Amino acid sequence: VPSSIISRRIENREIEFIGPRSSLKTFAFPQTHGELLPDRIIPAIRKALVEGTVLFLAPRKGYGNAMLCAKCRNISLCSCGGRQILTSSNADPLCSTCGNLEKDWKCKWCDSTTRYVSARGIDRLHEEIGRAFANTRIQLSSAPNILSDVAPNTKIVIATAGSVPGNKEDYSAVVLLEGQRFLAASTTVYEELVYENFFEAASHVSKKGSVLIVLDHSHPVVAALTRWSPSILVKKILRENVEAFLPPYSSIAILTLDKSDAVVLKSGFTKSVADGRLPSQTNVVLVSGQGESQSRVLVSVPIEYRDLLSKFLLELSRKRAIAKKNVVNIALDPYTLLT
């Protein structure tokens, strides 16, 4: 799947995209109550198991990456404020922030001792899939224990994104689990990675096999996989990014500094736009979190002015160093805007 940057160049005919003409049997099975495997997908998987090995793609590794109270459904938090996770079904809750284990856990809200596993990881999915397809040999593949090959008598392989065994290209079915969790991406960069992972996993299906995705039928990824055409998804991302003035249509700099200096710096950028040292289309935004010691100034310009912004930031950094002002952390076009 081409990135949004490459896709824009393809749209501008700077690059010619040559993709294979193909189609896949793709079927969508929406969740109704948050179940891992909707009822209608079970017969399709059983049929595929008769024909060969089935690959399941899991959204995350681990067991339970979040824990809730089964009675009141409040998220379980450590005394430090960090989210508690489970490493196995019988393990004590572990804080994802400070690493503290809590013995004899009970809900801080209602005193219930019954736990509910949320944000299921591959180990938890292994348990549920094992119960659904009893007496079936299953192998897991996730970092750091990525399978180099699949045993001959294995019928189910459960893998996380990027951990699909590379020696097998003829799965009778590829099941993309919890599609909505995969697609709950905070930025379009992560959304691109999800689509890349879906296409990579689907490429391992046999010619007569099918792709089964736990997702609503209307999502464009279903049609994209069926037609083996990532352009459907890429055009969607480009359309959203041009409306939001995000890369690849803009160049964005993030300046992180002390709160006391942030307001002055933002005013300086605004004045530079008024004086013509930065383009008139420049957007300047101050992001200041409550209770945080530092703030961020986001400066975005049309992509054709990237070099101008780069030189401006270099000069700004040089002048602040000469004046011995507080350090400013400058990131130009970072991988993600969330830090």
Cα 224 to Cα 22, 40, 231: the distances in Å are 11, 22, 8
User: Quick one: what percent of the chain has pLDDT higher than 90?
Assistant: 64
What is the per-residue pLDDT for 88?
Answer: 87
Specify the pLDDT at position 223.
Answer: 95
Q: How confident is the model at residue 65 (pLDDT cuts 50, 70, 90)?
A: confident
CB 160, CB 194: distance < 8 Å: no
The strand pair at 283-287 and 250-258 is best described as unpaired
Lowest mean pLDDT among 184-193, 219-228, 281-290: 184-193
Instruction: Give domain status of residue 160, yes or no.
Output: yes
In terms of residue numbers, what domain contains 317? Answer: 251-332
pLDDT surpassing 80 at residue 248 = yes
Per-residue tokens: 94: 């572990």
- Residue 83 tokens read as 């989210």
Whether residues 198 and 127 fall in one domain: yes
Residue 114 lies in a domain: no
Please give the pLDDT value at position 186. Answer: 67
Q: Classify residue 90: in a domain, yes or no.
A: no
> How many helices and strands, by DSSP H and E, does the chain display?
9, 14
Banded pLDDT at 338 (limits 50, 70, 90): low
Residue 276 lies in a domain: yes
How distant, in Å, are the alpha carbons of 51, 173, 183 from that of 25?
15, 10, 21
Asked if pLDDT for residue 152 goes beyond 90, the answer is no
Answer whether residue 54 is part of any domain.
Answer: yes
Q: For 296-330, how does the pLDDT look when each residue is reduced to its tens digit (9 = 90+)?
A: 999 999 999 999 999 999 999 999 999 999 989 99
Residues 173 and 287 in one domain: no
Task: Dump pLDDT digits (tens) for 76-108.
Answer: 999 888 889 998 888 899 998 888 999 989 999
Whether residues 138 and 226 share a domain: the answer is yes
